[in-house]
Structure 1
Amino acid sequence: MLSARELRERRKLRVRSQIGKKSSDRVRLSVFRSSKHIYAQVIDDRKGITLAHASTLDPDLRKALRSGADKGAAAQVGKLIAERAVKAGVKEVVFDRGGCIYHGRVRALADAARDGGLSF
């Protein structure tokens, strides 16, 4: 029987392989969710650089948020990452949910990023 960590790692590898096949010239919006915070970055894999990043640890958000581990915080991070990505000249991305299931905080971040101007 596989542990939860091993199952998550398998999901992550499966998602990344599909992203590699489907994304020809798009950058990747990568999401990491921990028990206390959520992080997002827009990554250009061809150049190997991060174009934009946001998390619940940003000073602007940290003061305004009650907790970094709820859907409201994830939505705020989604808006912020979309704003920073558009400012960096990125409109189209491929969504990389990592090993997380597209539900709850991950979905809230994705919906807010779409509302903020990113297309995926």
Structure 2
Amino acid sequence: MKLTRRESKTRRHRRIRGKVQGSPERPRLAIFRSNEHIYAQVIDDTQHHTLVSASTVEPELKSGLASGANRDASVQVGKLIAARSLEKGITKVVFDRGGNLYHGRIQALADAAREAGLDF
């Protein structure tokens, strides 16, 4: 039985979420990638609360980008989520790639967040 790409992604996402959980000391950096945009949230899973978020749909990022669906946009979101996290005193996070492969836009966002000061 061959799985579709969506089924494979869903299985990976469920497997990851079974192992990765955010805490107040080390919240979860969750990534969602659509065809046109990329979103990042820092989440405390114990209180089910989003602490910080950033995405390519925000006016301050959207105006400066040619597209929200490329590596350059992911780098900008990674830098922005790291800056906002550091402002709130969050330095360590757990990375949740959301079932996506660690490649391309996901990798670019993670690398930019690391370079900007987040530890994961």
TM-score by length of 2: 0.94
Query: What is aligned with 1:78?
Result: 78
> Shift of residue 82 of structure 1?
0.3
Matches within 5 A, 1:38-57: 38-57=38-57
> Shift of residue 2 of structure 1?
2.1
> Shift of residue 18 of structure 1?
2.0
Matches within 5 A, 1:49-68: 49-68=49-68
* Larger helix proportion of the pair: 1
Q: Distance between the aligned counterparts of 1:80 and 1:117, measured in 2?
A: 11
Query: What is aligned with 1:104?
Result: 104
Question: CA RMSD for the aligned pairs?
Answer: 1.2
Amino acid at match of 1:39: Y
> Shift of residue 16 of structure 1?
1.1
Partner secondary structure for residue 64 of structure 1: coil
Query: What is aligned with 1:88?
Result: 88
Q: Distance between the aligned counterparts of 1:86 and 1:48, measured in 2?
A: 20
Q: Report percent identity of matched pairs.
A: 55
Query: What is aligned with 1:5?
Result: 6
> Shift of residue 17 of structure 1?
1.5
Q: Distance between the aligned counterparts of 1:60 and 1:4, measured in 2?
A: 33
Q: Distance between the aligned counterparts of 2:87 and 2:11, measured in 1?
A: 34
Q: Distance between the aligned counterparts of 2:3 and 2:66, measured in 1?
A: 36
Q: Distance between the aligned counterparts of 2:41 and 2:117, measured in 1?
A: 15
TM-score by length of 1: 0.94
Q: Distance between the aligned counterparts of 1:6 and 1:63, measured in 2?
A: 34
Equivalent pairs counted in the alignment come to: 118
